[in-house]
A and B are shown apart, each in its own frame.
Chain A
Amino acid sequence: MPKIVLDHVTKRFDKFVAVDDLSLVIEDRDFITLLGPSGCGKTTTLRMIAGLETPTEGRITIGDTVVFDSSSGVDISPAKRNIGFLFQNYALWPHMTVYDNIAFGLENLKWSSSDIDKRVREMLQMLKIEQFEKRYPSELSGGQQQRVAIARTLAPSPKVLFMDEPLSNLDAKLRLEMRSELKRLHVDTDSTFVYVTHDQMEAMALATKICLMEKGKLQQYAPPLEVYDYPANLFVADFVGNPTMNFLPVDAKRVSGNTYSFSMLGKDLLFKGNCAIEEDSFKAVVGIRPEFIKLGEGQFSGVVYTTLPSGMETTVKIKCGDDMVTAVVFGSVDYSHSLDMNFSVSGNGILLFSKESGKMLSTGTIEMMS
């Protein structure tokens, strides 16, 4: 069963470094999402594993086979890596019918025509596109084309499936639908999925593990909830979560043990950390998820700036001195703007970052200094 190992992989285009010294282990039957802003190197990484792009340096192993090694010059053709690849714009062959699109790859593996027919019918049925068999891609809607592309990719039963933003061309409703089908497909096909997306919601919902990249560098590689609750650094904390985390710069001083004092939002506070921190006094950033801010009562006070109801939940922005704080309230509320508002910060999930390095130092709680 294939396990994919990337060992110090680097890709340079002239002087531009697309992927910088990336090491990664993808376990068998994982559903990995490569997540990051556009241009972060995630698609390049995927294409390098698939063999469509040649790394400048490093070593890639799929299962027991070294498929690429810059030091010994091994570079196995994608055709021999036993993989499937789902392209962003589907890349369906416009001059072939749906049936031919799915069958073409199998013909190429020298399957007998009865086997091919059986497999194609199976795929058509599995993806519920039997009625389109004789149509050409241009006669199908986006969602139907997507299904054909998936059927074509799955037909030869690849052990590893690579997907490059496969849902980004679909409308919002269809995207949600296909998301759940892909997750189901992962279970049904029993294979390893590697999935590129810039949509953090999609990554959270689908993946068993998220690989977050920025500027070609790996930022964090962990299960979705861990990435959400314990972001490795400011970039990850900022990128994941919607609405985004509140960041408040402070000057932190050690009081005792893991307890630090600073003033924030006009109040003097204590931060009780869960982990040991080295520095006694440093410039820090406090990160608070919007859901940890409770409106109505509390020590902090501000003025409502805007209210953005979306039905199930409402995002409220509150101006507090020179700072702006975002909170999320469950249900629909509509505060009139300029309303005075008190709020509290609760929970054990408050984050403390070093401003200098951007690293997350500890989770903890915030209390008023007595």
Chain B
Amino acid sequence: MSGSNKKSHLLNNIRSAASKPANVITVLFFVILLFTVCFPLLSLLRDAFTVHFGEIRDIGKPVGAFTFYHWQTLLFDNLYDYSVLTFWKPLVNSVLMAIVSCIVAVGFGGAVAWFITRSDIPGKKFLSTIFVFPYIMPSWSIAMFWENFFKNTQIVACYNQMGMLESFTGICVPEWVLYGFFPCAMCLGIHYAPFAYLLIGGILRNMDANLEEAATVLKASRFKILRRITLPIVTPALISTILLVFSSSLSSYTVPAFLNKNGSFSTISTTMRSLFNTAAMQGQGFVVAIVLLVFSIIILSINNKMTGKRKSFTTISGKSGQVSLVKLGKARMPITIVIMVISVFFAIVPLVSFALESLLEVPGDYSTLSLYYWTTTDTLENRVFGSSQGILRNPTIWKALGNSLLVSFMVALISGTAGILIGYASARKRGSRLARWVSNMAFFPYLIPAMSFGAVYLSVSYLPAFSFLHGTVFLLIIVGGIKFLPFASKSGANAMMQVSGEIEEAAFIIGVPWWKRMAKILFPIQKASFISGYLLPFISCMRELSLFVLLAAPGSIITVVLQDFEVNGLTQISNGINFLIIMIVLLVQFITNKLTGASIDKGIGG
């Protein structure tokens, strides 16, 4: 074959490959994700080994020079127990906190899942609806509620404010109940219980009832069936839940940040935050980010290893409608009451408490109900950034709320659309290596704890070439768009897999162009799933703090403003803002659900 022939052959092949949209999308996203996922990770790695501006004096080397100083200091500096206090103790704290929250989440969520799917407990629909509430609320909501409930006049760290419990009963709990290890672990556990419920409940619901019935026919007792049949089948989901809750709790920032006002309990994430806030210790902050990242990756690869092969257990046969429910008998009422009370207490009462707290001029004194903190034009506190007027009159809050909505909208648009496209490409190019890489890269941000992911982009924004991004809303949009991509691309891929390729080919053959196939065939068929792919990033982003806390400028987005008011003791305003956020999230979800049938619980638990 002559040279020119070869050339035209190659050109023809390229043209033929480029005429297939799935190829173009795959290549495009390969490049995009290389820049947005892989490149920032390298930058993070580099930052953990180089000198930053604030560290020149301590290290004695110029900016950008290679150094082991950060690792050595943080991990092995024994002077005044430095590394023990700033690294090892917080790490142990985090691990213990994660273990306890796992037990609470899986125990509580798993039990409720079993009662709802396998017993004759009444009010299942109501219970399953309200039970997921704590997971839809911002992650610190339970913590904030905990504080509203237990704070009392005996504790200095909460500015001696009176909480609900003291106000109604006069009981003052000791400080360890309000701040520190115990409340952090409990709140995380309660926050993740719905997550455990959704994962385990999903398996129980889809499990072929014949498997249990076959054992019943063979005269196995109820207990034996649970122990020998049900539990082993649910085991993969159980392990999965434990590992995911463990890894999320380990790297949780918001809960310990809200429930550590007395400074007695530091975790790995709060340590990372304060290291980044100190100019001379940023390098060490990057080290912590890498440690957290390694932890998450190890945990999630264990998860994949342990559940990958065993997932085949979860046989979905579609014939499992006829489950014979366990009769709870005499225990029915007591169990129902206990579960109902706990669920309502953590789902409905927090909402009431946020609204109520924002209306109390004197915390805990329910005779002082007023709209003062919503409407005043007085400056309430000088330490907060920007204006500290009443919520409705406060330009800082409104601007931040607007920014949050903008960021969330853009993030939803970016990750939702990218998710659909990646889902499309990976469904059409199943088995292609490049497509597999792309979908793995799109899933990778899931493995990275939110705050480490923030740190990754913080390190990018320090690069001279990207310094224009530093502290901008634009940076938040990029970070959010990438961080929430895994949910969107998973739901996009699932939706695409459900539509047989032939449905699209039938249109392809009669010459319908690609964009029209997407818009007129694929999108309408899987409308609900695709819109969920937009809805979930929007909602997650609207209530996100850990991801943005290192990157957002003061007063830029609503969650940052909320935290500012909270740590400075203006709890009426922080409660009011939290109430606003929850209402917006619920409203958006409700409207979308009514209009399109999309719902958030389809995407939760991924």
Chain A positions near chain B (C-beta within 8 angstroms) = 13-14, 50, 52, 54, 71-75, 77-80, 83-85, 87-89, 91-95, 104-105, 108-109, 152, 156
Contacts and interface: CB of A to CB of B under 8 A. Distances in A.
B521 A73 contact: no
B503 A79 contact: no
Contacts of A152: 506
Interface in B92-134: none
A91 B10 CA distance: 35
B3 interface: no
Interface stretch (B233-241, B342-350, B508-516): B508-516
A79 B508 contact: yes
A87 B507 CA distance: 12
B586 interface: no
Contact of A80 (B16, B500, B511): B511
Contact of A91 (B11, B503, B524): B503
B319 interface: no
A50 B510 CA distance: 11
Contacts of A108: 510-512, 516
B556 to A, nearest CB: 42
Contact of B525 (A77, A78, A94, A109): A94
A95 B525 contact: yes
Nearest to A86: B506
A286 to B, nearest CB: 45
Contacts of A13: 431
Contact of A87 (B8, B506, B512, B524): B506
B430 to A, nearest CB: 11
B504 to A, nearest CB: 8
A88 B508 CA distance: 16
Contacts of B19: 75, 77
Interface in B1-52: 8-13, 15-16, 19
The number of chain B residues touching the other chain, given as a range, is 20 to 34
Given A79-B510, A80-B511, A83-B509, A88 B502 contact: yes
B525 A87 contact: no
Contacts of B16: 54, 73-75
Interface in B534-573: none
A84 B508 CA distance: 11
Nearest to A155: B510
B77 interface: no
A51 to B, nearest CB: 8
Given A93-B521, A95-B525, A104 B505 contact: no
Nearest to A101: B506
A301 to B, nearest CB: 50
Contacts of A92: 506
A12 B507 CA distance: 26
Contacts of A77: 19, 508
Nearest to A81: B509
B511 A93 contact: no
24 contacts: A13-B431, A14-B431, A54-B16, A73-B12, A73-B15, A75-B12, A77-B19, A78-B509, A83-B509, A87-B505, A87-B506, A91-B500, A91-B502, A91-B505, A92-B506, A93-B521, A94-B525, A104-B510, A105-B512, A108-B510, A108-B512, A108-B516, A109-B511, A152-B506
A77 B513 CA distance: 11
A78 to B, nearest CB: 5
A8 B8 CA distance: 22
A88 to B, nearest CB: 7
Most buried by B among A73, A77, A79, A109: A73
A79 B511 contact: yes
A108 to B, nearest CB: 5
A73 B11 CA distance: 8
Contacts of A85: 505-506, 509
B73 to A, nearest CB: 51
A79 B19 CA distance: 12
Contacts of B506: 85, 87, 91-93, 152
A89 B502 contact: yes
B12 A74 contact: yes
A73 B509 contact: no
A198 B483 CA distance: 48
Contacts of A79: 508-512
Nearest to A107: B512
A52 B505 contact: yes
A54 B9 CA distance: 15
A104 B9 contact: no
Interface in B460-508: 500, 502-503, 505-508
A73 B524 CA distance: 35
Given A73-B13, A85-B506, 11 more contacts: A78-B508, A79-B509, A80-B511, A91-B500, A92-B506, A93-B525, A95-B524, A108-B512, A109-B511, A152-B506, A156-B510
A77 B507 CA distance: 12
A28 B516 CA distance: 33
Given A89-B500, A95-B524, A109-B510, A72 B505 contact: no
A85 B11 CA distance: 29
A74 B12 CA distance: 6
B357 to A, nearest CB: 47
Contacts of A78: 505, 508-509
Contacts of A93: 503, 506-507, 521, 525
Most buried by A among B19, B431, B505: B505
A87 to B, nearest CB: 4
Given A73-B16, A88-B502, A91-B500, A104 B8 contact: no
Nearest to B506: A91
A156 B507 CA distance: 12
Contacts of B502: 87-89, 91
A81 to B, nearest CB: 8
B14 to A, nearest CB: 9
Nearest to A71: B9
B525 A52 contact: no
A198 B505 CA distance: 22
Contacts of A89: 500, 502
A73 B8 contact: yes
Contacts of B520: 104
A252 to B, nearest CB: 48
Nearest to B512: A108
Nearest to A85: B509
A101 B499 CA distance: 16
A49 to B, nearest CB: 12
Most buried by A among B9, B15, B510, B511: B510
A117 B500 CA distance: 29
A109 B509 CA distance: 12
B181 to A, nearest CB: 54
Contacts of A14: 431
B367 to A, nearest CB: 58
Contacts of B11: 73
A8 B316 CA distance: 44
A91 B502 CA distance: 6
